[in-house]
Amino acid sequence: MYVFSFEKLEVWVEAKEFSKSVYEITTHFPDTEKFGLTSQLKRASISIASNIAEGSARKNYKDKAHFTTIAFGSAVEVLNQLIISFELNFVSEVDYLKLREQLESITNKLNSLRNYQIDKSNEIK
């Protein structure tokens, strides 16, 4: 089976696993949040991995960096939603800190990937 380039990226693997963790955590959210924070957290967390994958299919590094930037923005969006979920007691402190640690790793890797893509884009000019 063919393995796409994004599947080889550690940051994509981490983002995919992170979104699965978010899905697990949100099963414990109140039913009243089904169309609120639960939905928002799921969609934003999936957006991280999805934008990494989509960006990998782009032809030039400038476009790749654009999608990496969007993935980074989604990660920060998730952080905001996790903070609110924690403050509303929808997420335990243990789970909150674990997810926050995972997000820190993901955002650090996204930042490095984006810097690499921008550097490559500038080399080609």
Residue partners of 48: CB distance under 8 A and separation at least 6: 15, 18, 19, 71, 74, 75, 78, 106, 110
Q: Is it the case that residue 125 has pLDDT exceeding 90?
A: no
Q: What pTM was computed for the model?
A: 0.95
User: Using one digit for the tens of pLDDT, what is the confidence trace for 64-100?
Assistant: 999 999 999 999 999 999 999 999 999 999 999 999 9
Torsion of CA 104, 108, 110, 113, to 10 degrees: -160
Considering Cα of 26, then 95, then 67, then 58, what sign does the dihedral take? negative
**All structural domains of the chain with their residue ranges:** 9-124
Pick the CATH number of 9-124 from 1.10.730.10, 2.40.50.140, 3.90.550.10, 1.20.1440.60: 1.20.1440.60
- pLDDT for the residue numbered 70: 98
Cα(34)–Cα(7) distance, rounded to whole angstroms? Answer: 30
